[in-house]
């Protein structure tokens, strides 16, 4: 069985095809997905999807690109969704220094810290988005998350093998997405190789980042199997073993029964 640990099932990109997609998921080996929020609106959509589709769970929170005009009131509204039964994590939260029009770094850092503090208070795992911000992400997690025993998942990991090892050593889980299947993905492959299978999760981040052989097309949660195939190849295990391990790891992380 497969578990897509991070996708955006309620993204507008899937409007119109979602019921059909749900049927395809139900008749496939993809047993579970987590729909990840990026602000109040998308978090609410994720929660509603999780209460509509039996294979779907939700994460709620503010993506670093969305925190520009965030207030404590809005954040409280968003994180109050954690009381809903199908919400399994806070995310995606983190730092994104890649785009110039993202909020200033100090603003991103402030809201990243605040959401980690709330995760600790609420006893929720966190899904981390980190782009071109390796050191600051690590430093903030070391201050706010790990000492408080907040379970951490590094989503769509793109760092070095050394960084992956460092994260696992302090208790984080590492998730790989479509880019690990790309031709130029040597660093990704080396990072996955550096991490024990028991610490690896897989995801699609769909509708973005379709894996090979679907690269360039709209990504679907179903395509998580191509990521599983790549992980099997890298770890030198059968596809069934890779599916099984990543499925169990995701269940453990999100605290769902097998």
Give the shortest CB-149-to-Zn ion separation in angstroms: 24
- Minimum distance from residue 172 beta carbon to Zn ion (Å): 17
We find the least distance from the C-beta atom of residue 253 to Zn ion, in angstroms, to be 16
Cβ proximity to Zn ion: between 89 and 232 the closer is 89
Q: List the Cα angle 13/17/21 in 5-degree steps.
A: 105
Q: Does 11 bind Zn ion (CB under 5 A)?
A: no
Which residue number, 203 or 232, has a Cβ lying nearer to Zn ion?
203
Interface pattern 146-185 for Zn ion (x via CB under 5 A): ----------------------------------------
Hey, is 174 helix, strand or coil? strand
Which residue lies nearest Zn ion, judged by its C-beta? 205
Sites for Zn ion among residues 194-233 (CB under 5 A): 205
Q: Which is nearer to Zn ion, 11 or 199 (CB)?
A: 11
Residue (199 or 205) nearer to Zn ion, CB: 205
Question: Which residues make beta-bridge pairs with 93?
Answer: 128
Binding-site size for Zn ion (CB under 5 A) equals 1
94 alpha-carbon distance from chain centroid: 11
Listed in sequence order, the DSSP H helices in the chain are 18-26, 40-52, 72-79, 105-122, 134-144, 161-169, 186-194, 224-235, 239-254
Residue 19's CB is within 10 A of a number of other CB atoms, namely 10
225-251 exposure pattern, b = at least 16 Cβ within 10 A, e = fewer: bbbbbbbbebbeeeeeebbbbbbebbb
Closer residue to Zn ion in complex, CB, 205/243? 205
Residue whose CB is less far from Zn ion, 86 or 155: 155
- Residue 4 binds to Zn ion (criterion: CB under 5 A): no
Start-to-end CA distance of the chain, whole Å, equals 10
CB of 91 to Zn ion, least distance (A): 8
Q: How far is the CB of 156 from Zn ion (least distance, A)?
A: 7
Q: CA-to-CA distance for 124 and 138, rounded, in angstroms?
A: 19
Residue ranges in contact with Zn ion by CB under 5 A = 205
């Amino acid at each position: 069985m497969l578990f897509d640990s991070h996708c955006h099932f309620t993204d507008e990109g899937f409007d119109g095809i979602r019921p059909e997609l749900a049927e395809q998921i139900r008749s496939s080996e993809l047993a579970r997905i987590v729909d990840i929020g990026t602000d109040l609106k998308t978090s609410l959509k994720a929660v509603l999807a999780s209460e509509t589709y039996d294979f779907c769970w939700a994460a709620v929170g503010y993506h670093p690109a969305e925190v520009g005009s965030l207030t404590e009131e809005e954040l409280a509204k968003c994180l109050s969704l954690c009381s809903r039964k199908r919400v399994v994590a806070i995310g995606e939260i983190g730092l994104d220094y890649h785009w110039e029009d993202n909020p200033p770094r100090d603003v991103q850092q402030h809201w990243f810290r605040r959401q980690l503090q709330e995760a600790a208070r609420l006893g929720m795992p966190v899904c981390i988005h980190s782009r071109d911000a390796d050191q600051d992400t690590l430093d903030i997690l070391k201050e706010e998350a790990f000492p408080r025993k907040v379970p951490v998942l590094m989503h769509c990991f793109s760092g070095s093998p050394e960084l992956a090892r460092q994260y696992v050593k302090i208790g984080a889980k590492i998730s790989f997405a479509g880019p690990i299947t790309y031709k130029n993905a040597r660093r990704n492959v080396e990072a996955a190789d550096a991490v024990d299978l028991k610490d690896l999760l897989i995801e699609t981040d769909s509708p973005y980042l379709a894996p090979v052989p679907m690269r360039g097309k709209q990504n679907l949660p179903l395509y998580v199997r191509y990521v599983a195939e790549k992980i099997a190849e890298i770890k030198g295990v059968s596809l069934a073993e890779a599916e099984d391990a990543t499925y169990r790891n995701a269940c453990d992380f999100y605290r769902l029964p097998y």
